[in-house]
Every structure is written in C-alpha cells, then in structure tokens.
Amino acid sequence: MISLTVNGKAQQVDVEPDVPLLWVVRENLNLTGTKYGCGIAQCGSCTVHVDGSPVRACVTPISAVAGKKVTTIEGLSTMNDHPVQKAWIEVDVPQCGFCQSGQIMSAVALLNAKASPTDEDIDNAMSGNICRCGTYQRIRAAIHRAAALKGGRA
Amino acid sequence: MMTRRTLLKGGLAAGAGLAIGFPLVRRAGAQTPGVFAPNQWLKIDRDGVVTIVNSVPEMGQGSLTTTTMIIADELDTALDKVKVEQAPANPGLYANPVTKAQSYGGSRGVRDHIEMWRKSAAAAREMLKQAAANEWGVPVDQVETEPDTVVHKPSGRKLPYGQLVDKAQALPVPQNPKLKTPDQFRYMGKMVKRRDTPDKVNGKAIYGMDVVLPGMLIASVERCPVNNGKVKSFDATATKQIKGVKDVVQVTNGVAVVADSFWTAVKGRRALKVQWDEGALAQVSTPMINREYEAASKQPGEVARNDGDAEKVLAAGKPIEAVYQVPFLEHACMEPMNGTAQVTDGGCTLWLPTQNPGGHQQLAARLVGVPVDKVTVHTTMLGGGFGRRGEADFVTDAVEVAKAMKGTPVKTMWTREDDITHGFYRPATYNVFRATLDGNGMPHAWSTRVVGPGILIQKGRAPAGTKVDPAAVEAVRNMPYDIPNLRIEWVNKDYGMPLGFWRSVGPSQNGFIIESFIDELAHAAKKDPVEYRKALLGKSPRHKAVLELVAQKSGWGSPLPAGRARGVGVVFSYGSYAATVAEVSVAPDGTPTVHKLVTGIDAGIAVNPDQVKAQMEGGAVYALTAVYYGAITLDKGRVVQSNFHDYQMLRINEMPVVEVHILDSGEAAGGLGEPGVPSVAPAVTNAIFVATGKRIRTLPIDRNALKRA
C-alpha cells in the first residue's frame, strides 16, 4: 500500500512501486483528465503538480510520491474558475483538447512562480508541452490573460 | 471579416444548391408523445428543451459548436440552452449527404452538410409557425419567431415552442422550407464560443482513452516491428506469470495482452516471445526507396494532364530543372490510438474516438459476425484525427480482443511507439520539374513527373483501371497557373508502406513542390513572385484574390529588418483557397526562424470566424512541423522513429505569430480543417531562398545546408 494525497484527499493504492503516477491517477483513481501522450516525458500531456511543482506523471514512479501532495487538473478548482481556466475559456484555447490538461497544469505552475511572465518565460516554461492542433498562439495569449486576471488587472 | 454582402451571397448559394438530394424525413421513432421530432437532426420536448444531433465527430475542428450554430440559427432557438447529442453510428440517418458515408475526412463537416441542416431546421421552424398560426386562426405569413417562441406581432400573442410540440408534430414536413436570409442570422457568421471548451479545461471531456466501464480490462497489442508482418508463433509463458495479466490472445495485428491495467499489459508485451513473418517490407529501407524513386523518375509515367506539347517545347529549349523530395509522415495525434469494445450474445458495443463511425460499425459487425444493427458505436471526443482515425486497425484490435474476452468490456490501447511505428503514412515522393520561359520570362512549357505511391490505389478505393491516383497528383494536376504547354505525369512506386490521409493529403506536399517551382521561375525571370503568380492566374480569380489579400496584409514589398525576408504560397484544396506570406530569418548556424505567417482563407462562408482562424493557426503549425522536423524513415522495413524525441513536433518557443484574414467571397462553403496546411511550407522555404540564396527542395529542412561558413 502506498499513501498519498490527491486533490486534497488521502488515498491508499495497492500497486507495484514502479507503476507511474500517471496510471495510478487514471486507472486506480479514475481521474482521467491527466493524459498519456508519450510515456517518456516528451509531450507534457501528463503534467500534474507534486507538492506544488509540475512533474511528468508518466515517468514518476508511484513510490516517489508516497506521502506527497498531488494535484491533477480535476483538483484545480471546483467551479472551473481558476484564473488559468477562465483565461483558457475566454481565449477559446483548446481544439481537440487532449493536451490541454497538461498545458494548463504547466501554465498554473508558471504563474505560481512568476506573476507576470514574459514571452520568454512562457517559452521556457511551456516548451515541454506539445500541442499537435497548434494552439500555441492562444496558449500564450491565455497565459498573459490569466496573469492579468490573477493580478486583479482584468 | 464577414460582411452582409458576403453572407447574403453565401446564404443564397447554400440555399439554392439543389444538386444534393436528401429527403426531409421524419425522425425514426418520432412518434414519441410529447416530442416534436420532424427529422433526425433535432427534437423539442414539451418543456421546450431543444436537442440537436451532431453527426460530425469532434476532433478539435469545432464541429460540436458549428453544427449546433447552423441548426439552431435556422430553428431560431437560444444557442446557450440547446442540448447536443453525438450521433450514433447509423448511416441511414446520419450519413454525409454527399459521400453517402458516415465517415468524416476531406474537411467536409460544414460544406457537405450546411444545406441539409439548414433545410431540416427551417422545416421545423415552419411547422412550429404553422402550428401557432392554426392555434390563433391567423395566416402563417403573419407569424414570425423569436428564439424558442412563435410571435404574432399584430395581436402581440406569443407561444413558446414547447407548447406547440404536439400540434407541430401532427403537421406534414415541408420539403422546401424557406431559409433565413443572412440578415436574419443570429449565429452564423458571428464569433461563437466553443461548446466543448469548459470540459476541456477541467479534465471532464471523455476521449476514447478515458472510457471506464464496470469490470473493464485493458489490453495492448504487440505488433510486428515491420508493418504488414504477421505472427508466426508466440510463447506467452512468461507473460502469463505476471500478476494482473488475465489473458493473451492472437489477433490480426499481433498478440494482445489483456490485463488489469495498461502498465501491466505493456509489461506483459515485453515478456512475450513472438516469431514474426516480417513480410516483403522487411527488404525495404529509405536509401533504397530514394535510389529507386530516382531511377523511376527517368522513365515516362502515366499522363495525368497534357496541354499543348510540353515535351516538344522543352526539348527545343534549355529547361530550368529541379527535383523536389518529401518524406513519409505520420499523423501523431496527441491521443494514441485506442478503442473500447464489449461483445455479448446480443452484439457488440463500441466506444471509439473515430472519424468513421459508419465504417467502423460495419467492420465490427463483420468481425463479430452479427448484423450491422447489432453494433452500437458511441463516438467519444477525439484527441486529434487528422485523417488517422478513419483507419480500421485500432478498431480491429479492440473488437477482436473483446470477442476473445466475450462478455467483458476491454479497452485496447496503443503506446506512442505503436502509434508512430504503425501508422498510415503520408506518401514519400520524388518530383522532377522542367520548364522553359518565353521572351517575357513567363513559363512557356512546364513538366512535372511525380514518383511515389498512391493512397487510393493502395487502399483499393480508386475505380478499377485507375492509372493515375487522384490523391497523388492533387494540386499538381489542377495547378492554377495558365501555361500553354503543360504535362503532368505520375509514376506509381509503392513498396507497401501503409499509406493514409494526412491532414490535407496530396496538397500537403504538392502545394509545396508547385509553389516552390513557380517561385524558382519567378526568380529566374527576375520578377516579383507575387506579380509573377498574378500574371498566371487569369483563369483562377479566387487564387488571385486571396494572394492579393495576403500580399496587402503582409506589406509585401515593404522594407524588413536586416536578415529577414518574405516568401509566398497560394494553394487550393478541399473547396477553399488559402495563401500565406511567411517572414523568416536564418541564423548563422542554419537555424531558421519563422517570425510571422500572414494567412488568407476563402472558404466561401465563415460560419464561426474565430474557429476559422483556429483552423488556420493549427494548419500552420501542422505544416511547420513538417517543414522543420517531419520525416519517417525505414530501415529493413522498420520505422526508425518511435516517439517525440525522434519524431519531433513544433513547440511553443518556435511558434510564429499567425495572422488570419478571412476573404468573404460569398461562394459555396469550402473546407477548413485541411486548407490551412498546404501554402505554409512553400511560403517559408521561398522566404528562406530570399534570405539565404539557398533553395530548399527537400523536406524537412536540412539546417546544415543553411549554415553560413
């Protein structure tokens, strides 16, 4: 049994220690918002927060997060009103949307670290997340918008 | 932006097109009391709740929103209250009226359906108006509608749709309902937010991969490292010893490990010992293909087009010659292939991220051995489609595994590696160009010989006796430039590498080669590339108009910062005309940077302008990825690339500013998912030529060749 906290809730999972956090979240906890895209930390679709930092859940063994606090896309807000979610809706960022949970989790982490990111900051923080539909221009706009919303400059 | 004039023209064009035959049939099972269901596309209950059926799978193109806008507009209902259902597989009711198939490719969502949807909704609105007029005893031409309400203005009386349900349902369905005039549109032509965005920012949207059913198992199929290879024999002893592995079954595409989790299924695959019959493709490697393409290009091909006598004119002159090459490409949908199926005595139920619900229903019926109507297909959200999700393989996997595990629902999932190495690839081609110019520097003779495989011929989807694969020469055969002596040939060289429809298909590569070579001729003639093209587009006014639009919007000809240059391309595909001006620079180490893409699109009518822009932005990224990185190569039949580390995608730090300008021609609706792709690559490489003097004739770009010593 491995204990961890997911979206504020204590969980105990009975899995092998090498199983990636991604599959525990998706298959044991039925939180399917976190996506599998590559399995080798190349696409960022599986991005979640562990103790507040963004990690690629597809290469994070469950044993490495024992006792830690995990936040998935489902834990970001209860009313879909996190500033990043609001900005994403305002700009209509997603197309197919499959990568967007990961994009949003990376963006939230960026904004937590830097309230008003520059375009260069966005490039650095977001270049680990692939979007095959090509929504990058809108992601950039939405991050700037979220920064404004968060800073009360809406 | 959209103007009233355009909408009027577009509206009339859509309303007057009588070429498509479709009866306005009453919805099957429509006799439910208390439900007004004049056809398969909509229903209204006594509470006034409107439900619209969307037949076009949502793969990112915005069909959930656009379909709903079109129907809700003609019905005259409040868009924010409408419920939307995704159509089940039932081609009798939901097939595309043009292709007659419940399958979605070719950017056909809006353009093939808009007339039918508008008429279906307008018929419903007329019936509601008639029901109210009967109720009030007034002539129907005295009543009109507000959203969800019929109004009689002279008396001020109003009846909500919900109260008219039973009376409207009893009326005959008008076959030629009057459509709204564009000035009456509430939604079409205006920016409307996507309906699916809220659930795509909180993890609630359900893609194929996210399907969870009680008692469900997870499977993954070990496939032959060489495409088209077959299982000779296998030993699953070690696999079956792994805790959580439930079964191992042979299927058409390999050996499936069925387990209690994906991780276990993949572990089980690694423990398999499989003997493969690798098949003919195992003899094929990319250098060999390139050599043989080159050799084949020396031989005459099948003639796809022959105006005048290009061979004679070229033989008499000193032709400008060039060879263009493009590689195989894989779609790389963000969601790896998957499918969920449950086979029971009663039939088969599927949950699929599919572009082809009708075809996949038939496929499952054949595999399970049941009538088609015993197969239910639930279409989930698609994590990208791009032409990949119309193929049969991932559904074959899911159904065969579920059949072997009868009674148990099974989700069969691919790894990313499976996805890249077992795709349906955009054809690699080798293309030889020759042209001579007349005294004014304009092309007098032009010859193109395309060497490569044909998608439609390989798939058996070309009519018997087809000598020139239509997809192979699309955007070459119908190139728009007015040239007196023009010869297009195609040489079929097919090694059996599985081929597929990659976003914009033939034009994705042929737009690049044609728009590059015309640019070479413009530079050879020392003429401006935009003016040169315009002079040759006398017979193609829509090409010319969209070209002029991007030239004007990009400030074509105006000064740029040092080191930057512009290039242009214009390509017709899927009913739409698109052009791009690219602004690029190239670093001393050969790294190209695309700073800006100014794109123009004439798709006749822009139903949802913001999503037209989104498709153009996305098309540009798809194209740029291929320009920078895209290459699938073969080594003894094995696809060398396997994941995003060696099959790279454009990332946000490489994203140019993309400006989209909509040209409102008012012509019939064109496609949008694909037309944004083809003009981007040539615009970029033509700009690189201006910036560096180096002509890119092979994709992806070889950065070493652009290095400055």
DSSP string, B79-103: GGG-EEEEPPS-HHHHS-TTT-SS-
Cis peptide before A17 (omega within 30 of 0): no
Q: Is the pLDDT of residue B396 over 90?
A: yes
Pair (A47, A112) in one structural domain: no
Q: Residue B263 and residue A23: Cβ atoms within 8 Å? A: yes
Q: In what order do the strands lie in the sheet with B42-45?
A: B35-39, B42-45, B50-54, B83-86
Check residues B17 and B391 and name the one with the higher pLDDT.
B391
Closest to B697 in 3D by CA, of B451, B502, B431:
B431
Chain B contact set for A30 (CB, 8 A) = 212
CB A67 within 8 A of CB B237: no
Chain A contact set for B386 (CB, 8 A) = 132
Question: By percentage, how much of chain B surpasses pLDDT 70?
Answer: 95
Pair (A29, A50) in one structural domain: yes
Inter-chain CB pairs, A–B, below 8 Å:
178
- What pLDDT does A151 receive? 86
- What pLDDT does A73 receive? 98
Q: Residue B614 and residue A135: Cβ atoms within 8 Å? A: yes
Pair (A7, A69) in one structural domain: yes
Choose, out of B64, B191, B194, B200, the residue to mutate when testing the contact with A (most A CBs < 10 Å). B200
- What pLDDT does B4 receive? 35
Q: How many CB atoms lie within 10 A of CB B705?
A: 12
Using the 3D structure, point to which of A39, A54, A75 is the last residue of a domain: A75
Using the 3D structure, point to which of A32, A49, A75 is the last residue of a domain: A75
Q: How many CB atoms lie within 10 A of CB B315?
A: 12
Q: Residue A137 and residue B658: Cβ atoms within 8 Å? A: yes
**Chain A nearest C-alpha distance from B407 (Å):** 21
**Chain B nearest C-alpha distance from A149 (Å):** 16
Pair (A59, A101) in one structural domain: no
Chain A contact set for B263 (CB, 8 A) = 19-20, 23
Instruction: Supply the CATH number for residue A55's domain.
Output: 3.10.20.30
**Chain A nearest C-alpha distance from B681 (Å):** 15
On whether the pTM is more than 0.80, the answer is yes
| Residue A18 belongs to domain spanning | 2-75
Instruction: Identify the residue whose tokens are 């109260």.
Output: B163
Pair (A58, A20) in one structural domain: yes
Nearest to B203 among A15, A96, A101 (CB): A101
| Nearest residue on chain A to B623, alpha-carbon basis | A134
Closest to A26 in 3D by CA, of A74, A63, A68, A65:
A74
Chain A contact set for B649 (CB, 8 A) = 43, 130, 132
* Residue A121, SS3 per DSSP: helix
Q: What backbone phi and psi angles, to 5 degrees, belong to B198?
A: -55, -45
Q: Residue B203 and residue A31: Cβ atoms within 8 Å? A: yes
| pLDDT band with cut points at 50, 70 and 90 for residue B404 | very high
- What pLDDT does A69 receive? 98
Pair (A52, A105) in one structural domain: no
Q: Is the pLDDT of residue B92 over 80?
A: yes
Give the CATH class of B287-328+425-706: alpha beta
Q: What is the mean pLDDT of residues B286-294?
A: 98
Gap between the Cα atoms of B206 and B383, Å rounded: 10
Choose, out of A32, A43, A133, the residue to mutate when testing the contact with B (most B CBs < 10 Å). A133
Q: Residue A132 and residue B334: Cβ atoms within 8 Å? A: yes
Question: By percentage, how much of chain B surpasses pLDDT 90?
Answer: 95
* Residue B549, SS3 per DSSP: helix
Gap between the Cα atoms of B515 and B497, Å rounded: 27
Summarize pLDDT for B9-61 with one digit per residue, the tens. Answer: 333 333 333 334 566 655 545 568 899 999 999 999 999 999 999 999 999 99
CATH of domain B4-197: 3.30.365.10
Torsion region of B38: left, alpha or beta (phi above 0 gives left; psi -120 to 50 gives alpha): alpha
CA gyration radius, chain A:
15
CATH of domain B208-279+337-413: 3.30.365.10
B164 CB-side CA count, 13 A: 27
Q: In what order do the strands lie in the sheet with A69-71?
A: A9-13, A2-6, A69-71, A47-50, A53-56
Element (H, E) at B218: strand B217-222
Summarize pLDDT for B226-266 with one digit per residue, the tens. Answer: 999 999 999 999 999 999 999 999 999 999 999 999 999 99
Q: In what order do the strands lie in the sheet with B429-437?
A: B302-307, B485-492, B443-452, B429-437, B320-326
CB A58 within 8 A of CB A46: yes
Pair (A46, A102) in one structural domain: no
| Nearest residue on chain B to A31, alpha-carbon basis | B203
Element (H, E) at B249: strand B245-251
Q: Residue A134 and residue B622: Cβ atoms within 8 Å? A: yes
- What pLDDT does B32 receive? 82
Pair (A8, A49) in one structural domain: yes
Chain B contact set for A7 (CB, 8 A) = none
Nearest to B202 among A80, A129, A140 (CB): A80
Instruction: Please give the DSSP secondary-structure letter assigned to residue A26.
Output: I
Chain B contact set for A104 (CB, 8 A) = 201
| Nearest residue on chain A to B416, alpha-carbon basis | A38
Number of structural domains in chain A: 2
CB B547 within 8 A of CB B567: no
Nearest to B334 among A19, A80, A96 (CB): A96
Choose, out of B190, B195, B202, B598, the residue to mutate when testing the contact with A (most A CBs < 10 Å). B202
Q: Where are the domains of chain B?
A: 4-197, 208-279+337-413, 287-328+425-706
Nearest to A98 among B383, B614, B621 (CB): B383
Amino acid at B45: D
Instruction: Supply the CATH number for residue A119's domain.
Output: 1.10.150.120
Pair (A32, A66) in one structural domain: yes
Pair (A107, A127) in one structural domain: yes
CB B230 within 8 A of CB B284: no
Pair (A65, A7) in one structural domain: yes
Pair (A66, A123) in one structural domain: no
Write the ipTM.
0.98
| pLDDT band with cut points at 50, 70 and 90 for residue B8 | very low
Q: Residue A95 and residue B197: Cβ atoms within 8 Å? A: no
CB B53 within 8 A of CB B85: yes
Choose, out of B207, B624, B652, the residue to mutate when testing the contact with A (most A CBs < 10 Å). B652
**Chain A nearest C-alpha distance from B358 (Å):** 21
Average pLDDT of chain B to the nearest whole number: 95
Choose, out of A15, A40, A84, A96, the residue to mutate when testing the contact with B (most B CBs < 10 Å). A96
**Chain A nearest C-alpha distance from B602 (Å):** 21
Q: Residue A126 and residue B652: Cβ atoms within 8 Å? A: yes
Q: Residue A37 and residue B381: Cβ atoms within 8 Å? A: no
- What pLDDT does A82 receive? 98
Summarize pLDDT for A11-49 with one digit per residue, the tens. Answer: 999 999 999 999 999 999 999 999 999 999 999 999 999
